[in-house]
A and B are shown apart, each in its own frame.
Chain A
């Protein structure tokens, strides 16, 4: 019993952490929090099922095409919902523009795909529903791969360093001659891909279901809020903790109260530490 709570808690926690990283990646490049973060996660699952089960592509090709499509959604987010309102960042219009785009993505999926959860292909065929089943450890594996990949990217590549420079201070970065706009688009493409990985890796667990987007939007935001904006390590720890807490609460309190418990803990924690438990700096205002 404990083993299966831990297995599913860590698995879903890894997905939350990945969506948290999607939020962070988008934020670092643009100072914008986007409601499409959860939707790319949802699309990772839906598109994976579409390409592999419905169109019959081999898994690896389906995976690649899914990532490309999610990257495209990231770029579309940047072009449509972020870039036009960047100049009015202090009016927070991005909250509404990204919410609108997220709703549109969700609605198109509901109508064109299905409003019922659809099966996701069995990728490796390891395990039979026990706590060591692939559906539980694939998200963890994906999460580890993304975290390590991002570290390598940021530390060892020129593009990665440019990302960091933009995240640190985009005015200064622009002054240094960095192509801020292109880097921002690249960041959103990267964020879309990370969301795609999250959705694809968790497809067997979450199924290809249009409503996963809204769910991931919220639960993926919790680790960001708790871990500190832009802090991927915070998101990782926060995501895994949330997953475990949620699964344990589900088991202990049962359906309805577990949801309430998670929300209350989130709101209280956020009010106690608005910058997140791992801290973040405040911007200069005047």
Chain B
């Protein structure tokens, strides 16, 4: 089956319909399905990543169930659309826990909703895998049930800083973001990181995402002596205006920052394709083309295998892969422990050491729930997207 965005929306509605029918299930039956709650912004302005996650989720569930399930138990996804709204996410979490009685939850990905739902899942001791980068979400003391499959924002930050200071070897940086919740806090963290590394921060600030003309801001950065721009904006419009304004004032300064710099939407809004050059965004080794135009072997094999089955061109490869990893991790846990009890999942996840997923090798311990390896986080060329993957930025071995 070819999985497209449209079909996925229809699919999720179908899942919802089934789920709300609320079939009474014996909790511990030998071949009762493994219930995995999945929530994300499936519609609305924040939907793009969740649509990618959804594609991976659906594909892997098909694979597992098609092969007979895990120890004879099928996986059943109970999907909830939060639209990224924390209020809806809190309701959905409680519903998945108390009403649907799911065994584990995958998601949610957006920061506001994750921050609100994490304590609730912790209270219910609900095993939780999520792909949200916000640092505060991982705290094995407070949230012993929550495991992160994506890098943390700190790891992103490290990658960006590392690239500026050690690959580009530039120390005069201008750091800015959009004045959204994410942008303001990312700028703050980034400034702290660069300060710690004794870089020279010549400018830092947030820009209104609706700002029409960012020429003055860029001129100000240039006059301050910036040699690289670190951008923590998630706003398509602002990102494209920055690229266009950079070209308009004829300033060939590298821009390094958030993955949003590389979305296809930005590509549509640049005045000339060249405006998008010399822009580097956070990426991952597992999802990056090398100089030979090939992905690492494991990833290349996956992409070849799902060609025509999962639409990758309008999505991002790691979104699809991490979702597959999440479901596989849950399934693998049931396979190993034979249990869908919360403690069994948590105990099992805590023992994982370099578990080979598609997106990366995950390692967890009772003290460390940030499972993604830091060295996997690299920079990619923002304008190089092909089938959801990007080319490694220059300077990496």
B244 in contact with A11 (CB, 8 Å) = no
Residues of A within 8 A of B184 (CB): 256
Residue of B with least CB distance to A5: B216
B213 in contact with A247 (CB, 8 Å) = yes
User: When the two chains form the complex, which single residue of B205, B210, B247, B249 contacts A215, counting CB atoms closer than 8 Å?
Assistant: B210
Say if the beta carbon of B212 comes within 8 Å of chain A.
yes
User: When the two chains form the complex, which single residue of B211, B219, B244, B269 contacts A129, counting CB atoms closer than 8 Å?
Assistant: B244
Tell me which residues from 105 to 135 in chain A have a Cβ below 8 Å from any Cβ of chain B.
Answer: 110-111, 115-119, 128-131, 133
In the complex, A261 Cα to B210 Cα: how many Å? 15
Say if the beta carbon of A19 comes within 8 Å of chain B.
no
Say if the beta carbon of B95 comes within 8 Å of chain A.
no
Residues of B within 8 A of A128 (CB): 248, 271
Say if the beta carbon of A173 comes within 8 Å of chain B.
no
Residues of A within 8 A of B271 (CB): 128-129
The interface on chain B, measured as residues whose beta carbon lies within 8 A of the other chain's beta carbons, has a size of: 32
Tell me which residues from 225 to 250 in chain B have a Cβ below 8 Å from any Cβ of chain A.
Answer: 236-237, 240, 244-245, 247-249
B205 in contact with A250 (CB, 8 Å) = no
Min CB distance, B183 to chain A, in Å? Answer: 8
A4 in contact with B213 (CB, 8 Å) = yes
Min CB distance, B253 to chain A, in Å? Answer: 16
In the complex, A12 Cα to B215 Cα: how many Å? 15
User: When the two chains form the complex, which single residue of B47, B179, B237 contacts A256, counting CB atoms closer than 8 Å?
Assistant: B179
Say if the beta carbon of A277 comes within 8 Å of chain B.
no
Min CB distance, B178 to chain A, in Å? Answer: 7
Residues of A within 8 A of B212 (CB): 8, 11-12, 205-206, 247
Say if the beta carbon of A67 comes within 8 Å of chain B.
no
Min CB distance, A75 to chain B, in Å? Answer: 29
In the complex, A240 Cα to B245 Cα: how many Å? 23
Interface of A is mostly: helix
Residues of A within 8 A of B207 (CB): 250, 254-255
Min CB distance, B189 to chain A, in Å? Answer: 17
Say if the beta carbon of B252 comes within 8 Å of chain A.
no
Known contacts A129-B248, A255-B207; A209/B213 CB under 8 A = no
Residues of A within 8 A of B178 (CB): 255
Say if the beta carbon of B220 comes within 8 Å of chain A.
yes
Residue of B with least CB distance to A243: B212
Known contacts A119-B269, A128-B248, A209-B237; A259/B208 CB under 8 A = yes
Say if the beta carbon of A7 comes within 8 Å of chain B.
yes
Residue of A with least CB distance to B219: A1
Say if the beta carbon of A207 comes within 8 Å of chain B.
yes
Say if the beta carbon of B17 comes within 8 Å of chain A.
no
Say if the beta carbon of A269 comes within 8 Å of chain B.
no
In the complex, A4 Cα to B218 Cα: how many Å? 11
Give the size category of A's interface with B. Answer: 20 to 34
Min CB distance, A12 to chain B, in Å? Answer: 6
A129 in contact with B216 (CB, 8 Å) = no
Residue of B with least CB distance to A258: B208
Min CB distance, B359 to chain A, in Å? Answer: 25
Known contacts A205-B212, A215-B210; A129/B237 CB under 8 A = no
Tell me which residues from 257 to 275 in chain B have a Cβ below 8 Å from any Cβ of chain A.
Answer: 265, 268-269, 271
Min CB distance, B153 to chain A, in Å? Answer: 20
Known contacts A130-B248, A206-B212, A255-B179; A117/B237 CB under 8 A = yes
Residues of B within 8 A of A5 (CB): 216
Residues of B within 8 A of A110 (CB): 44-45
Min CB distance, A121 to chain B, in Å? Answer: 12
Say if the beta carbon of B206 comes within 8 Å of chain A.
yes
Residues of B within 8 A of A258 (CB): 208
Residues of B within 8 A of A171 (CB): none
In the complex, A120 Cα to B191 Cα: how many Å? 35
Min CB distance, A8 to chain B, in Å? Answer: 4
User: When the two chains form the complex, which single residue of B47, B206, B249, B265 contacts A254, counting CB atoms closer than 8 Å?
Assistant: B206
Residue of A with least CB distance to B275: A129
Say if the beta carbon of A251 comes within 8 Å of chain B.
yes
Tell me which residues from 29 to 71 in chain B have a Cβ below 8 Å from any Cβ of chain A.
Answer: 43-45, 47
A251 in contact with B237 (CB, 8 Å) = no
Say if the beta carbon of B341 comes within 8 Å of chain A.
no
Known contacts A7-B213, A8-B213; A115/B45 CB under 8 A = yes
Say if the beta carbon of B376 comes within 8 Å of chain A.
no
Residues of B within 8 A of A11 (CB): 212
The 9 closest A-B pairs by CB, nearest first: A129-B248, A255-B179, A8-B213, A115-B45, A255-B206, A4-B215, A117-B237, A255-B208, A116-B265
Provide 28 A-B residue pairs closer than 8 Å at the C-beta atoms, listed in order of the A residue. A1-B216, A1-B219, A1-B220, A4-B215, A4-B216, A110-B45, A115-B44, A115-B45, A116-B237, A117-B240, A117-B269, A118-B268, A118-B269, A119-B269, A129-B244, A129-B249, A205-B212, A207-B269, A215-B210, A250-B208, A251-B216, A254-B207, A255-B178, A256-B179, A256-B184, A256-B206, A258-B208, A259-B179
